[in-house]
Each structure stands twice: as structure tokens, then as C-alpha cells.
Amino acid sequence: MKNYHVLLIAALATLGLSACDGSPEESTAPAAAESTMSDSIEGAADDAINIIEDTVEEASDSVDQMMEDMSSDAEEDLSDAMGKMDK
């Protein structure tokens, strides 16, 4: 099992070094595909982060509105109770 790990690491290192050997003008199809895939993954991650941030912001706004409504209702109830006590 360890031999396979060593061979896998050696193969990955060789592929990584060979990808770095070419100049930027000599872009090969695999390197271009990897770059495109990397950009696509980064774009998807950015979209996911934006969706999460928007959802959190909407939830926060909803909670704020709910707290304001509860506070307003509590003030009205207290005012009504105080009014009934005075009568």
C-alpha cells in the first residue's frame, strides 16, 4: 500500500513540474482545461458565498422586523393594561 502512495506522489509531482516547465504562451490543452475548471470552481464558490450572505442578511432583516413588531405589540399591550387599571 505504501508503494502505491509513493508512486502516486511521484506521479503528481512529475505532472506538476511538467506543467510548470512550459512558458505561458505554450499553454497546453490540459493546463488550459485545469485553469478553466479552477476558474469555474472559484466562480461557483463565490456564487455560493454570495447566496449565503444574502440569505443571512434577509434572515437578519426578518428577525429585526419580528423583534420590532413584538416590541410594538408589547408596548400596546402594556398601554392597554395600564389604561384598564386606571379605570
What is d(CA 69, CA 75) in angstroms, rounded to the nearest whole number?
10
Nearest-Å Rg of the Cα atoms of the chain is: 30
- Residue 87: give the domain boundaries: 44-87
Q: Note whether residue 64 is domain-resident.
A: yes
Per-residue pLDDT of the chain (87 residues; tens, 9 = 90+): 566 677 667 776 776 666 555 555 555 556 556 677 778 888 888 888 889 988 988 888 888 899 999 999 999 888 888 888 876
Q: What is the pLDDT of residue 4?
A: 65
Q: Note whether residue 37 is domain-resident.
A: no
Q: Note whether residue 70 is domain-resident.
A: yes
What is d(CA 13, CA 6) in angstroms, rounded to the nearest whole number?
10
- State the pTM of this model: 0.43
Q: Note whether residue 7 is domain-resident.
A: no
